[in-house]
Amino acid sequence: MMKELRDKLSSFPPGEFRSVYKSTLPDIAKAGLLNALKDGGFRSFHEKLILIPSFPHGIGVGVGLMAQTNVAGKILKLVIGSEEGASIREEAKSLALELQDRLVNGLGILGLGVSEPGWMGKLTNLKSTAKVLPSGEIELNFHKGFVTNGADAEGYLVVAKEEELNRFGVFFIPRDFPGLKIEEVYLDVAREATHCKITGENFKLPSHYHFIEDYTKLGADIHLSEMLSAAVLFCGAIRKIVSDLSQGSESRERFSVLGKLWDLSGLLYGKCLEISDKKDKDPTYKIEEDHPYGYEAILDECISILESIPNFDYKKEYPDLRLFCTIHPARSPVYIKNRLKQSKSWRKFGTL
């Protein structure tokens, strides 16, 4: 089925991006790349995801998949399982099941809106607000500046602050909700993952559209799960470059450089699979237990090696590779917090 997906992606012209992800969803579903939305098989998902960058339009499609699986998928699973912190309303569970079913079968897209202009990665800076009215309805005001997969989404999950309870809830908004403003956003890299801005003022939502009580408890793990899939995509992108550059006769020097890139990507991919196994075996496992795990260091080292190759401009030849520097994991507050925590154990190394 992965061959059929590659053939489908090969059928789009090189410059096309707007229709690629949505048009390919049925083929993505047939290839089993959406199964983790339901059964949580992250190892299987990542074993397929690493191949995606070797396909035309692959990195952009991979970004769409990593967001759909690790972000929207995680939230829906929490609601369906009515886990602690998720809505216990049967209507919410039923709606989440319906959305999950459409996503797994490649029939729909769900976008998550967290980031806002000036929020700097901190939930406490969010301006979007939610308020429970006496009727039980929720009044929502929001402006989200960047929703991955949002341009073609049939619905959105919006994170907003409930002032009275000082917590950040997750609320579902259908695309056809009256008054919802959608503005498409295009990046210079991985453009197949279409994004948008969304705005809503004084929306009155049914109470069962309140999916998650407090995103604070989920945010770090959702971000790290998304970055885990980004790391797998990066490994695939590096291996595609090595494959391309290894064609034909090679000098010993270049052979050595390509070997380093292959080995580094293999070390990172092995770590990603190890973490994937932990996620599969234990639903309560949090990636922060093992984070940082080397993605940042290997990303920087691979880029440095690529820049050292004579007569080769990776930015020109493989422009989508720049995506991984754009979303560099070491810039996130989660990375800094976990690195500081990890550094405490450095000083104890060798102490018996």
Per-residue pLDDT tens digits for 150-159: 999 999 999 9
pLDDT in tens, 34-44: 999 988 799 99
Rounded Cα–Cα distance for residues 299 and 27 (Å)? 30
Token digits for 141? 């005001």
User: What is the mean predicted confidence (pLDDT) over 319-325?
Assistant: 95
- Report pTM: 0.94
Per-residue confidence (pLDDT) for residue 249, from 0 to 100: 65
Q: Under a CB-based contact definition with an 8 Å cutoff, are residues 36 and 45 in contact?
A: yes
| pLDDT tier for residue 251 given thresholds of 50, 70 and 90 | low
Indicate whether 217 pLDDT > 90: no
Tokens read off for 126? 């969010």
Paired tokens of 2: 């992965």
pLDDT tens, 267-297?
999 999 999 999 999 988 999 999 999 999 9
Q: Are the CB atoms for 253 and 321 separated by under 8 Å?
A: no
Query: pLDDT tens across 181-215, in order?
Result: 999 998 889 999 999 999 999 999 999 999 999 99
Calculate the CA 307 to chain-centre distance: 27
CA-to-CA dists, residue 76 to 29, 49, 233, 234, 257, angstroms: 18, 21, 23, 26, 43
pLDDT at 229 over 90: yes
Quick one: pLDDT at residue 154?
Answer: 95
Two structure tokens written together for 120? 């700097």
Q: Would you tell me the crossing angle of helices 58-67 and 216-245 to the nearest 10 degrees?
A: 160
Residue 250: band (very low, low, confident or very high) from pLDDT cuts 50, 70, 90: low
Tell me how many degrees the CA angle 82-87-88 measures, rounded to the nearest 5: 60
User: Which CATH number does 110-212 carry?
Assistant: 2.40.110.10
Q: What is the mean pLDDT of the chain?
A: 92
233 confidence band (pLDDT: 50, 70, 90):
very high
